Amino acid sequence: MNDDLGHPLGATSPARRIVSLVPSLTEAIAATRPGALVGATDWCTHPAELDVTRVRGTKNPDRTAIANLSPDVVIANQEENRELDIRRLRESGIQVWVTVIETVDQAFTSMTRMFTEALGWEVPPWLTEAQAVWAEPSQPSGRRVAIPIWRDPWMVVGSRTFTGDLIDRLGVVNAFGESPDRYPHVELSEVDSGAVDLVLLPDEPYVFAADDGPEAFTKAPTALVSGRSLTWYGPSMLTARAELETMLRSHEPRG
> Model confidence at 10, in pLDDT bands (50, 70, 90)?
confident
**How do the residues of the chain divide into helix, strand and coil, expressed in percent and rounded to 5?**
35, 20, 45
Residue-wise DSSP of 171-240 = T-EETTTT-SSSS-EE-HHHHSSTT-SEEEEESSSS--BTTBSGGG-SSS-EEEE-HHHHH--STTHHHH
Percent of the chain with pLDDT over 70: 98
CB 4 within 8 A of CB 78: yes
Please tell us whether the domain made up of 18-133 is placed in CATH 3.40.50.1980: yes
Helix (H), strand (E), coil (C) string for 140-171: CCCCEEECEEECCCEEECCCCCHHHHHHHHCC
How high does pLDDT run on average in the chain? 96
All CATH 3.40.50.1980 domain ranges of the chain, comma separated, are: 18-133, 144-250
87-119 burial, b if ≥16 CB within 10 A, otherwise e? eebeeeebbbbbbebbbbebbbbbbebbbebbb
Give the predicted TM-score (pTM) of the model.
0.94
220-254 burial, b if ≥16 CB within 10 A, otherwise e? bebbebbbbbbbbbbbbbbebbeebeebbeebeee
Amino acid at position 248, single letter:
L
Running DSSP on this structure, what letter comes out for residue 56?
Answer: B
Render pLDDT for 145-165 as a digit per residue (tens, 0 to 9): 999 999 999 999 999 999 999
Render pLDDT for 58-76 as a digit per residue (tens, 0 to 9): 999 999 999 999 999 999 9
> Model confidence at 252, in pLDDT bands (50, 70, 90)?
confident
Report the pLDDT value the prediction gives residue 23, as an integer from 0 to 100: 97
Architecture of domain 144-250: 3-Layer(aba) Sandwich (3.40)
Percent of the chain with pLDDT over 90: 94
Residue 252, SS3 per DSSP: coil
CB 48 within 8 A of CB 104: no
Angle at 28 between CA 1 and CA 127, to 5 degrees: 80
Residue 243, SS3 per DSSP: helix
Which contiguous run of DSSP H or E holds residue 111?
helix 104-113
Residue-wise DSSP of 182-194 = SS-EE-HHHHSST
CB 37 within 8 A of CB 132: no
Q: Has residue 34 got a pLDDT over 90?
A: yes
Q: Has residue 226 got a pLDDT over 80?
A: yes
Report the pLDDT value the prediction gives residue 255, as an integer from 0 to 100: 56
